[in-house]
A and B are shown apart, each in its own frame.
Chain A
Amino acid sequence: MRLEPIKNPTLARKLVPPAIALISTVVIASFLAMVAGANPFSVIGLILKGSFGSQFAILETLNRATPLIFTGLAVAVAFRAKFWNIGAEAQLYAGALMTVLLGTGILPWPSFAILPLIIFAAILAGAIVLLAPALLKTRFGVDEVVTTLLFNFIFLLFISMLLEGVLKDPMGMGWPKSARIIPEAKLPRIVDGLRLHWGFGLAIFSAICIWIIQTRSTLGYEIRAVGLNKDAAAFAGIPVNVVIVKTALLSGGLAALAGFSEVAGLKGSLTLDLSPGFGYTGIIVAMLALLNPLGVIVASLFVAGIFVGADSMSRAADVPTYLADIMLATALLLMVLAIMLTRFRVVRD
C-alpha cells in the first residue's frame, strides 16, 4: 500500500472525507448508546436539544465554548510552529491564579482599570509558564511534549498547595478555594440577565486577532515557515529559536486567558476543579479546526455543544457522560485520517 499525493483535489475530495468522519463519529456514538441500553436516536436528539435546543442551552454552550476558544487558539498557534504545547492546562491555571491574586481586593480599582491589568498579568503569567519548556527545547533539545505534560501535574499541585495555604478563603468553611474576586474585577454579562459573559466576546476578538497575525504579519509567516520546514527557514535566515519562543509566549498567554475568563466571568473564585480538562480539550478543538483560528471558533462550539448536550442527555437517558469524550476522541482520530485522505490517495502496490 502506498500514499500518492493528489495534485489538484476537487471540492468533493476536500469535503467528503471530513463529512464521513463526522458521520462515523455519530454512528459510533449511537452504537455505544445502544450498548448502554438507550435508544440511539433519542440519545442524539437529547444531545442536540441539550446543546442548542433552547435559549438556556445555547447560552450554556457558548459559555462552555469560551475557554475552549482560548485553549484551542493556544494549541493551534503552538502546533503551527510544530511546538507541541500540551501544557495549556497549567497555563490556564496560571491565568486564573493571576486573576485571584490581583482581583480579590488588593487593588480596589474601578473596572476599566483593573480588568485590563488583570488581562495583561494573566497573559504574562501564561507566557512565563510556557517559557521554561520552550527554552528547554531551544537550548537543550528537550522534547516539549513530556515537559509540558509533566508541568501540568506540577502546577496543579502548586495551585492545590496555595489554595490550602496562603490563598485559602477565610470565609470558605475550610474548603480549598480562594476568596471571591471583587465585583469590579468581574467580567460583565453581555446581556443583562443572561448567563453569557464578555469572556465570550474577548474570545472571539482573540480569534480574529490571531487570524490576522497568522495571515498578514511577518510573525505569522515566520511561525508557519518554522512549523513546515525548520531547515529551510533557518537557511533563509529566519531565527528559528526566537520564533519558537515567541510562539510559546503567545500560546501560553492565550491559554491563560481561558483561566482568567472562567474566574472573572463565571466562577468568581479559584478552585482545583476550575478546569475539567479545557487544556487537553483545546488540543481536540485545534485539530478539528485544522489549526485555523477562525475554525477554532466553529470547532469550540461543536465540542462545547457535545459536552453540554451530553451532560443534559446523561441525566435524562442514563448513559454515562463519558460518551462525549469518546465521541471527541473518535472525531479527532477520524478527522486526522480524513484530512490526510483529502490530500493523498491510497494506491495498492
Chain B
Amino acid sequence: MSKDAVEALSLNAITKRFGELTANDAVSLAVNVGEVVALLGENGAGKTTLMNILFGHYTADSGTVRVFGDTLPSGNSRAALDAGVGMVHQHFTLADNLTVQENITLGVHSLLKPSLGRAAAKTRIAALSKKFHLAVSPDARVGTLSVGERQRVEILKALYRDVRILILDEPTAVLTPQETDDLFATLRLAIAEGLSIIFISHKLHEVMAIADRVVVLRHGKMAGGVNTNDTDKNALAEMMMGTEATPPKVSPAKPDAPLLALRNVTTADVGSVPGLKSVSLALKGGQIVGLAGVSGNGQAAMADVVGGLLNPNEGQVILGSKTVQKWTPRIAVQSGIARIPEDRHKTGTIADFDLVENAILERYKSPAFSNGGWLNWRKSRAFADGIIDKYDVRCLGSETPIRQLSGGNMQKLILGRVLEADPQIILANQPVRGLDIGAVNYVHSQLLAARARGAAVLLISEDLDEVMALSDVIHVIADGRLSPEFKRGEMTPAQLGLWMAGQGFEMDVANAS
C-alpha cells in the first residue's frame, strides 16, 4: 500500500442479526482508490449480507459506512448509488421483458423528468461499452441474452451511473473460464479508470489472480486480512474454513452395466434456453457421471428428462435394457431414480409442510404410507423420524414446518427421503448450492457412498471444481449438445472451458470431416 493511498470506502464494526442468527459480527473493511479487495468466505459466512448493507438493501444493527470520508445513511440504495457505490448482484437484477437500454437507464433520471432521452443514452452506452470491452446491443430484450451477456448489462448499469466503487458478488459462478478472463480484463480497465473494486468469491485461485488484498470472513466474523502478495491458497483456505473441512476421499471407480441410458434424445427449446440436441448418455452403476457447463445450456432439460418430468421429442430413455414407454415423475421414482432438485425451496420442498409431509412427498401413494386413498400418518411419521435420526437433520421435531430449517438441513431431509428408497440411479442437480462447508462434505460423502454401493450418479453442477473432484467421467453440455466422455484427470479446467464455450464441438466436427 503506497503512502498516497486514498481511502475510498470503510466499513466499521458492522453488526447485523436476523433473529437468532448473527450474520455479521463487528466486521471492518477498508478499500483504497484503485484497489481490488476480495471478500472471501464459504457459503453462509456473511459476505453477501455485508455487501447488501453497504449497498443499502439492509440496515446494520450497529456500525457505520463511510464513502470518501462521508458517512453513508444506511438502508438506502439511492444514497449508496449517489455516493458512487454500485453492485453487480449474484442473481442479476434485470427485467427480462425490457431492453438492455431500459434496464440500464431505469431509475437514473428523476421520475419527474418528462423524457427518457433515448438518443443520448444510447450514445453513452455505446461509449462505455467500447471503453470497458462490454459488448451489448442496447435494443435487445434482456430475456434473449446469454448469462455472460446479462452480466455485462449488470456491470454497465453500474458504470453508467459513474460509480467509483464497484461490488461484484460471486460474478464468476456462472461464467466459463474464458468469460472469466474477459471479466478480469474489464475489471483491470475499470481500475485504470480509478475505480475501486470489492470482489466476493469463494474461489481461491480467482482471488489470488485478481485481488490486491483479501479479507476472509468465517461464520460472520473477520478471520483475517492479508495482501495477496504475502499469502497463498493454502493459507487462505485455512483462514476460510478453519480445520473443519476435509473433503471426502475418492477411491477409484468400478463401473457396472448401464442402469439408465439416453439415446439420441432431443427436446424442445424453451424460449432462449436450449433443449437437448440428439444427446446420448449412459449412467453405469458404481460410477459418477459429471455434467459440466455454464448454466442455461440444457442442464434443466437433462435433469427433467432423467427425472421423469420431460418426455423427449425424439430418442429413447432406456431403463436397464427396456425402452421406456410412459415417462412421468412418479414412474421415475418407482423405477428407482432418486432426484435431488436444483432448487430445494422452489421444487424440493413445500415450505409450509412439516418434515413428515415433505418426507412422503414422492411416495405418499405407495403402500408404505397410504392405503386406498387414506394416509397412514403413523408410518409416515416413523419414516420422517428415521430420516431425521440417520441423516442428522437439525430441527425441533418432525412436525415443525420445514421452512424453519437451514438450507443444509433441508438438503439432508431431501437426501434422506430419496436415499432411503435404496435407489439405483441418483440425479444430483446442484446438490450443494448455497450450503456451508460441513453440509457440502456431508452431501458429497453420501453421493460417494451411494456410488460405492453400486448406484449410478449423475451430477449436474455449475461448479467446475466440484465436477472435476467427484466425477469418474465428465461430459460438457453446451447449447444442448453433449461432449464426448472425458475420464477423470484427462482434461484441464481450461480445456473443459473451451468445450463449455462451445468451441470443442466445432473442433470435433472439423476433425471428423
Contacts and interface: CB of A to CB of B under 8 A. Distances in A.
Instruction: Give the top 4 A-B pairs by smallest Cβ distance, nearest first.
Output: A237-B329, A237-B330, A235-B347, A236-B361
Given A228-B350, A236-B362, A7 B19 contact: yes
A170 interface: no
Interface stretch (A123-131, A150-158, A172-180, A218-226): A218-226
B365 interface: yes
Interface in A202-248: 216-219, 221, 224-225, 228-229, 231-238
Contacts of B18: 4
B339 A235 contact: yes
B42 to A, nearest CB: 25
Contacts of A218: 364-365, 370, 373-375
A349 interface: yes
Q: Is the interface of A mostly helix, strand, loop or mixed?
A: helix
Nearest to B360: A221
A19 B328 CA distance: 47
B102 interface: no
A238 B58 CA distance: 38
Contacts of B308: 237
A84 to B, nearest CB: 19
A7 B346 contact: no
Contact of A225 (B19, B328, B346, B353): B353
A229 B361 CA distance: 12
Contact of A232 (B309, B333, B348): B348
Interface residues of B, number: 37
Interface residues of A, number: 22
Contacts of B375: 216-218, 221
A5 B403 CA distance: 10
Contacts of A234: 309, 329, 347
B398 to A, nearest CB: 16
A198 B20 CA distance: 54
Contacts of B373: 217-219
B129 interface: no
11 contacts: A7-B404, A218-B365, A224-B353, A225-B361, A228-B350, A229-B351, A231-B347, A232-B361, A234-B347, A235-B341, A349-B59
Specify which of A224, A225, A233 lies most central, judged by the most chain B CB atoms within 10 Å of its CB.
Answer: A225
A231 B75 CA distance: 33
A228 B374 contact: no
B351 A237 contact: no
Contacts of A349: 58-59, 75
B299 interface: no
Given A216-B377, A234-B329, 11 more contacts: A4-B18, A7-B404, A217-B375, A218-B373, A219-B373, A224-B353, A235-B348, A236-B329, A236-B362, A237-B308, A237-B328
B193 interface: no
A321 B54 CA distance: 56
B349 A232 contact: yes
B420 interface: no
